[in-house]
Amino acid sequence: MDFIILKKKRMNNFLKATFLGTGTSQGVPVIGSDHPVCLSTDPRDMRLRASFLVEKNNTKVLVDCGPDFRQQMLRAKVSELDGIVFTHEHNDHVLGIDDTRPLVFKSKKDMPIYALPRVLEEIRSRFPYVFAEHKYPGIPRVEEHVITKNDFFIGDIHIKPLEVLHGELPILGYLFDDKIAYLTDVKILPEETLEKLKNIDVLIISALRQEKPHHSHLLLKDALEIAEKLRAKQTYLTHISYEMGFYEVVNSQLPKGIALAYDNLEIKV
């Protein structure tokens, strides 16, 4: 169903965000890999699938709900969510939906999910039992909201959808309270999106690796060029593969105001 845009009275302008996962679709370490980064004992080199939590006052909004959702919620001690916004339909971003059950049981309310119409349709096809007319007891329950180009609120958090391209696939990034932009799985940023992000306080953008071009993901140099073009006050890189290299080495070489994100990193704006 379409959702109504509601204006909420803001108690303050403070945003807190947590990187729940900063890895690619395989995570880091990769199963069976003997790459040095996959063998690292530095926790900043251990990356769950990409996910991001934004909080303001008592509102909690999750970006993407991948296969590591359960572990991420337990690790971050999250016991309630006001909604989940999806960037796109790939498995590393949606497969955790079944694990929303405990939150649904606790709140006694359906979990609000927000996505493009195409993404909602993909979710229905992968979790048909969630949407069945006669539902099996104990399944997760969701409340669908269609995202258009319009801004919307979830609780106290103002959200602007941002159109980007993941290869040739149109997907969404999100701008929270005009302060934090979250863009994962990005290959191309249209000019309209770039215009909305000039001089942004915090830019979060994906950077898969340093070399070997990818058909649907930015490389490190590409992400750095975008950050410079936008004049972001602070940039964090996410959706990072083991091929990026060791956190400690790569992060020390980045320009001022740009850093690799890592799991459990918290930021406040």
- What residue ranges do the domains of the chain occupy? 16-268
Average pLDDT score over residue span 220-237: 97
Say which residue, 6 or 64, is predicted with more confidence.
64
Half-sphere exposure of 179 (CA within 13 A, CB side): 14
For residues 165-203, b (16+ Cβ closer than 10 Å) or e, as one string?
bbeeeebbbbbbbebbbbbbbbbebeeebeebbeebebb
Average pLDDT score over residue span 107-132: 97
Predicted pLDDT at 134: 87
Residue 11: which pLDDT band, with cuts at 50, 70 and 90? low
Predicted pLDDT at 2: 46
| Rounded distance between C-alpha atoms, residue 43 and residue 260, angstroms | 13
Which amino acid, 61? V
Record the pTM.
Answer: 0.94
In this predicted structure, the answer to whether residue 201 has a pLDDT above a threshold of 50 is yes
What percent of the chain shows pLDDT beyond 70? 96
Q: Which of 29, 27, 64 is nearest to 49 (CA)?
A: 27
| Rounded distance between C-alpha atoms, residue 13 and residue 247, angstroms | 32
Structure-token pair, residue 139: 């399944």
Quickly name the fold that domain 16-268 has: Metallo-beta-lactamase; Chain A (3.60.15)
Residue 8: which pLDDT band, with cuts at 50, 70 and 90? very low
